[in-house]
Amino acid sequence: MSLYSMDHSEPSAEECYFREDELRQLRQFVATLEPRLRKVFQLHFAEGLPSREVSLRLGCSVSEVYRASRRIKGLLGGFLRNRN
């Protein structure tokens, strides 16, 4: 049987464990971000706000939000490569 069952109505205990572990690791990553990047992560990636809205809420340019988003993605890639 595969890790993910064909019946998607309820996750198995194994699936729940892996999802919880992934969330724990994501929380660890977010905790390592400097405060400004953490706020961009929260607004843009977690809440799904567009870059323009994030820039308005943080009082910065859209370009700064784009740069922060790229930096977050790069840091996350490094974090994921080094987590095991």
Q: Please write the tens of the pLDDT for every residue from 29-81.
A: 999 999 999 999 999 999 999 999 999 999 999 999 999 999 999 999 998 88
Predicted local distance difference test score (pLDDT) of residue 18? 80
Looking at per-residue confidence, does 10 or 47 come out higher? 47
What pTM, to 2 d.p., does this model score? 0.76
pLDDT band at 82 (very low <50, low <70, confident <90, very high): confident
Residue 69 lies in a domain: yes
- Report the number of distinct structural domains present in the chain: 1
Q: State how far the alpha carbon of 11 is from the alpha carbons of 1, 3, 17, 21, 27, in Å.
A: 14, 10, 10, 14, 21
Residue 8 lies in a domain: no
The residue range of the domain holding 83 is 35-84
Tokens standing for residue 31: 């905790």
Distance of alpha carbon 72 from alpha carbon 80, whole angstroms: 12
Which of 4-13, 14-23, 36-45, 70-79 shows the lowest mean pLDDT across its residues?
Answer: 4-13
